[in-house]
Structure 1
Amino acid sequence: MTARSALRRYMLVSFLTWLPLGLMAAVMVLLMTDRGLSLTQIGLAVTVFSVVTVSLELPTGGLADVIGRRMVLAASAVFTAAALALMSVSTTFGMFLVTCVIKGVARALSSGPATSWYVDTLHELEGEDADLKPGLARGGALESVAMCAGVLVGGAVPLLVPPGTITPLAVPPLLGAVAAVVLLVVVVFALPEPAHARRSLGSVLREVPSTVVGGIRLAAGGAVLRRLMLAAAASGVLLMTIELLTPGRLAELAGTSERGSLAYAVVAALGYAASATGSAIAPRVARLAGGSARGAAMGAVLCALSVGSLAATAGLDGVPGLVTAGLAYLVMFAGLSVTGLLCLEMQHNAVSAAERTTVTSTSSLSLQAGGVLANSTLGVLAGQAGASAAWWVASGVVLASALLFVAMPRPGVTGSSRVPVLPERSCSG
């Protein structure tokens, strides 16, 4: 296998991993509502998904580091296909809860193994000093392209389904299940992995906890990783605030819930396109800024300014309000992708292959923890003081996170393991 071949396979897997989620996201809430669920029940189902995902992030990351990336990715594809197929036929609250549990397992399993596979393969082909930014940028861009395409197709397909054949809103999840099956085939046949020694199930289960504990200690004890985990939490605060408040804001500006739903679908698709653009230009931003840490800081500042503009223009109505909100949304996602991609590169350069997926799961856990914090605080703040107040707070959090990249220690190689190496001036993170 060549580096170019590995990149093509990584990009394909990245696209197929997120395409089912994009297809589902366009109609998920509408399908639950159509099947008789209340908003409270829908919120509880989404909470169950989040709890399952957070609970399994580290164990599944450790499992991938023990038994291999390909096997865990294949399991994720199986769970995704099962969850979306079940969602399409679910008619009760209990069935949707089961669907969300299975989705949570799939999401946790998919967190990190594909990226870890690509990084390990590139290191094997080109050495430990291989430039990760171009490949990671293309993979991140394809993830965003998949979400953009999925949202647009998933939103349009129900309008094309002949009446009386099948519930139109059930078709996008079924298409997502088919895409997950395609992902399974690609993972099994297109992601070769060095053979692992045969181990019993008991030995695997005994090794996963120690791998997880090692990953946590590495993330907490290393100056680079500790800062990156805090940056991920700040991104989680930002994303949850946007997801909570943007739909209502657009509905208010559009005049009706139906128009607001359409406006949000279009803006979300454009946001994913902006995210793909941000991932694609991240290497160039890093070169212009003089390093990945400085480039990540620039992305964070851009995010903070865009969310601040949302808060500052909250009083605008009609078309001016829609335009300013849409532009802020696009700039925010582009900046967020620049920061996220460069953080991902720094993260992978700071760990060895043995802990790679575990640390990636720790980062995902930090992101979701930031989201939970925002959900429990900024949502209440928005209800009492308005959306602009919550956006100002989120903007301040992200702006403060840019300071995490100042004098960032550089990862280096010591022996067989990549560990954080502090510069001459001590820098506690």
Structure 2
Amino acid sequence: MTARSALRRYLLVSFLTWLPLGLMMAVTVLLMTQRGLSLAQVGLCVTLFSAVTLCLELPTGGIADVAGRRTVLAVSAGFLAAALALMSVAQTVWAFAGVAVLKGVARALSSGPATSWYVDTLHAIEGPDADLKPGLARGGAMESASLCVGVLAGGVLPLVAPGGPLPPLAFSPALGAVAAVALLVVALFALPEPGGRRPAGARRGTAAGLLRDVPATVTAGLRLVGGRPVLRRLMLASAASGVVLCVIELLTPGRLAALAGTAEEGSLAYSVVAALGFAGSAAGSALAPRVARLAAPAAPASAPASASARGSVRGAVVGVVVAASSLGALAATAGLGGAAGLAGAGIAYVVLFMGLAVAAVLCQEMTHRAVTAAQRTTVTSTSSLALQSGAIAANLGFGALATQAGTAVAWGAAAVLALASALLFVRMPAPAREPAPVRASSPDPVRPGRSGSD
């Protein structure tokens, strides 16, 4: 396999991973309320999804590091297909609770294995010093483009769906289930283990042997995060991003509904703004390598890699500052009404997601450069866990703040927090990779930049 072939496969998997979620996004709440659920019951199902995802993030990351990325991604696609198929026919709160559990398992399983597969494959082809930024940037852009396409298609499909056994709103999750099956097939046949070697857990030969390796892998990954200053800072930055994302998603729909005049028109406005935000995120991901190059200090001939690493750090700061400034602009324009308010909110939303995407791609690159393949997905899951923890904290704290003091104050406070998080990158330690520990249970030692999956 060549680097170009690996990138094509990674981009295809990235698109298919997020397409089912985009397809269901526009209709989820409407479908649940149409089938008799109250808003409180909808909130309960959303909370259940978040709780399942949080509980399984680290164990599933460990399973991916032990069992192999392809296997875990295929299982995730199977759970997602089952969840969306059930969602299209669910009629009770208990059925939708089952959907939430299945989606939570799928989300936890899909957190990191595709990216880890690409990084491991590129390392196997080009060595541990391979440039990760271009591929990760294109993968992030493809994910955002998939969400953009999915949310628009999922919103339009109920309007053009033919009559039949399914109501119009159910066609979007049903099509999402088909897309998830396509992801399962692609994962099984298009993602060979890097280097043709079997993953560490597969060499054990039994499910019991695999499960014995998972706690050790998770523990080693957590110890690595706790012991590396660069990883600790990156996890805190991820938590800050979670706060920003939650505050935007929590408060923007109500703000747009107030500007548009009715809840229905506000829903349409939010669908359009969300699609534009995903497009902005795709553009930010694509621009991340260029931002890092422009921000990099002059590279001495003796240390080009060091200059590239500093460029990633400085580029991440640029992304964070842009996102914080856009959030501040939202707060400053909260008093505008009508078309001016809608336009201001839409532009700030797009620019905010561009900044977040630039920072996310470069932080992802720094994370992958700081770990080896043996704990790669576990550490990625830890980052996802930090982001979701920040989102939960924001949901509780900033929701109450917005209720008491208004949306503008909540957005302003979040902007200050986001700007303060840029300080995490000041004097950021170089993300040098440590040798991976040798597992006593594994017959072959894990070398730096390689693992049993290589």
Name the TM tier (shorter chain). over 0.9
Matches within 5 A, 1:150-299: 150-163=150-163, 165-193=165-193, 194-196=197-199, 197-290=203-296, 291-299=311-319
Partner letter of residue 224 of structure 2? L
Q: Aligned pair count?
A: 418
The secondary structure found in structure 2 opposite 1:417 is coil
1-side partners of 2:433 and 2:50: how far apart? 36
1-side partners of 2:366 and 2:59: how far apart? 23
Which residue of 2 is the match for residue 401 of structure 1?
Answer: 421
Which residue of 2 is the match for residue 421 of structure 1?
Answer: none
Matches within 5 A, 1:123-138: 123-138=123-138
Residue 397 of structure 2 corresponds to residue 377 of structure 1:
yes
1-side partners of 2:101 and 2:20: how far apart? 16
Partner letter of residue 236 of structure 2? L
- Post-superposition offset of 1:164: 5.4
Residue 68 of structure 2 corresponds to residue 48 of structure 1:
no
- Post-superposition offset of 1:162: 3.0
1-side partners of 2:329 and 2:285: how far apart? 22
Partner letter of residue 377 of structure 1? G
List alignment gaps of at least 5 residues for structure 2: 297-310, 436-446, 450-454
Which residue of 1 is the match for residue 342 of structure 2?
Answer: 322
- 1:137-175 deviation line (CA, Å, top 9, x unaligned): 011000000000000000000000234552000000000
- Post-superposition offset of 1:307: 0.4
Residue 150 of structure 2 corresponds to residue 147 of structure 1:
no
2-side partners of 1:279 and 1:164: how far apart? 40
Which residue of 2 is the match for residue 417 of structure 1?
Answer: 448
Partner letter of residue 64 of structure 2? A
Which residue of 1 is the match for residue 117 of structure 2?
Answer: 117
- Over the matched positions of the two proteins, sequence identity in percent amounts to 67
- Post-superposition offset of 1:412: 2.3
1-side partners of 2:314 and 2:176: how far apart? 38
- Post-superposition offset of 1:4: 0.2
1-side partners of 2:353 and 2:106: how far apart? 25
Distance 1:123 1:319, change over 3 A: same
The secondary structure found in structure 1 opposite 2:4 is helix
Partner letter of residue 448 of structure 2? S
The secondary structure found in structure 1 opposite 2:334 is coil
1-side partners of 2:432 and 2:321: how far apart? 27
Which residue of 2 is the match for residue 350 of structure 1?
Answer: 370
Partner letter of residue 347 of structure 1? T
Residue 111 of structure 2 corresponds to residue 80 of structure 1:
no
Task: Tell me which of 359, 383, 389 is aligned to 1:339.
Answer: 359
- Post-superposition offset of 1:205: 1.2
- Post-superposition offset of 1:261: 0.4
1-side partners of 2:205 and 2:256: how far apart? 54
1-side partners of 2:16 and 2:278: how far apart? 15
1-side partners of 2:259 and 2:89: how far apart? 35
The secondary structure found in structure 2 opposite 1:128 is coil
TM-score (ref. length: structure 2): 0.91
- Post-superposition offset of 1:413: 4.2
Which residue of 1 is the match for residue 15 of structure 2?
Answer: 15
Partner letter of residue 282 of structure 1? A
Root-mean-square deviation (CA, aligned residues, Å) is: 0.9
Partner letter of residue 132 of structure 1? L
Residue 386 of structure 2 corresponds to residue 366 of structure 1:
yes
- 1:19-59 deviation line (CA, Å, top 9, x unaligned): 00000111000000100111000001000000000000000
Are the aligned partners of 2:88 and 2:166 in contact in 1 as well (CA < 8 Å)? no
TM-score (ref. length: structure 1): 0.96
- Post-superposition offset of 1:389: 1.0
- 1:210-243 deviation line (CA, Å, top 9, x unaligned): 1111111111110110000000000000000011
1-side partners of 2:116 and 2:171: how far apart? 33
1-side partners of 2:120 and 2:426: how far apart? 28
Are the aligned partners of 2:204 and 2:210 in contact in 1 as well (CA < 8 Å)? no
